[in-house]
Each structure stands twice: as C-alpha cells, then as structure tokens.
Amino acid sequence: MTISEIREILKKDDVPEEVLKEILSDERKGVRNLAASYMRRLERESRERMRVEALYEVESEFYKRGMTHIVGIDEVGRGPLAGPVTVAAVILKPHWFAPGLNDSKKVTPKHREALSARIHEEAVDLSIVSMPPSEIDAVNIYQATMEAMYQAVKNLHVKPDAVIVDAMPLHFSCPTISMIHGDARSASVAAASIAAKVYRDHLMDEYDKKYPGYGFAQNKGYGTAEHIEALHRLGITPIHRKSFEPVKSMIYEGW
C-alpha cells in the first residue's frame, strides 16, 4: 500500500483488524506517523465515549428496571429581558452516543447546531414549548417555565417511563427526578438543553430582523449594555417582558 492509500484508510472509523496490523508493522516513517496519529484519535474517541456514557448514570438505573423511555427536560431563557422561555423534553435511545453531548452552555454554537440536528433526527421523541412574554408577565417566570415543562411532556407522542428534569420540582405519575445541574449530569437533560437553546436562538435571530437595533441575534434578549441602551433609545418592543426590570420601571415612568 502507498502512504496515500494508508492515509485514506486511516480516515475511516472502522479499519479491519488485519489491515491495521499490516499498517502497524510497516517501518516507513510516514506510515508510522500516520499510525501514531490514528491511535491518538482512537484514544480521544474512547475517552469521549466514556465521558458521554457517564452521563447515563441516572438513566441506567431506569434501564436496569426495563424502563427505556426516559424524558429529559430543560429550559433556556429564564433570565432575558425579551423573548420567550423555551423548554425541550427529549427521549433518547438508551446509551445514544453523540460526540460533544453536554450542557448546552459548554458546547460551541456550531457544534450545538449539529447536535440539535442529530437529536431531532435520532431521538425517540422530542417536544419543544415556548412561553411568550405575555404569559411570563401574567404568571411570573417560574410558573411560566413550569407550565412549559408540563406542556412539553404532554405533547410527547411516546408515554414516558420516567422523567429527569433540571432543578424544577415537577410531579408526574411516573418516577420523576429533579437534579441540580442536570444538564451537566444527565445525557437526556443535556440533549434537552441543546434542543431548547438552538430553538430559542433561532427565534431570537428572527426577532432581530423584526426589531433591529437591540442586538437580539447576539444577546438573545439578555440585558447587555447594548440592549439596555437600545431600550432607552428605541423604546419597548412587544417581545419585552414588562414584569422585568428595567422594562417595568420604564413603563411606570411613561416610556
């Protein structure tokens, strides 16, 4: 085999054992370098698989009991001054693997997009609910988030065997676990956090086009200096939360 042929072979995920043995026994310096690079890649992939598998610790306890439809729930957007709070409920296949699966805050935007696409395509079931600012103002952000979580589970087509939710104390007829930092400790909740984040980010990108000048595509509705300055310069939009400061005070003062 030429070095170019070996390079192409080692780009594959699954190299036949007999071919790999032949490559590893090749004394050419270029082949040894390619083989060393390939082995390092395998080691990185193995570590990543172990990291992701560790996120299934809670789910695995349910799997052992024959319960496979485990719902992970997470939200994004509780803190912004504008836009909805968005919740995702996701059921993954047992031990589903995707490189980089993690709390959405620890994943780059580009990788979040790729992961979200895979989650939508490969999840057993997925539901996303966004509560608009009007609902947040009517019942408060905590209640709106909770209602969105219940609605997201209700909208699933597959009946849950168990539920894992990030922090919120929900109650369902099936076993339910509320986990602090669940998006960093449960694969199902991590997947939900990514799906919710990408969905809401896309909404805010559209709002940026509809209400230019506030920087919604960049700040996603959070109260950055640019956003606050635009509020005072351009005024309040229909997607601003009127129960959140400084919007609330601006309304009181007659803006």
Binding-site positions for a divalent metal cation: 74-75, 166
Contact 241, 133 (CB under 8 A): yes
Contact 122, 96 (CB under 8 A): yes
Per residue, what are the HEC states of the chain? CCHHHHHHHHCCCCCCHHHHHHHHCCCCHHHHHHHHHHHHHHHHHHHHHHHHHHCCHHHHHHHCCCCCCEEEEEEECCCCCECCEEEEEEECCCCCCCCCCCCHHHCCHHHHHHHHHHHHHHCCEEEEEEECHHHHHHHCHHHHHHHHHHHHHHCCCCCCCEEEEECCCCCCCCCEEEECCHHHCCHHHHHHHHHHHHHHHHHHHHHHHHCCCCCHHHHCCCCCHHHHHHHHHHCCCCCECCCCCCHHHHHHCCC
Q: Which residues are documented as binding site? A: 74-75, 166
In angstroms, the CA 169 to CA 141 distance is: 15
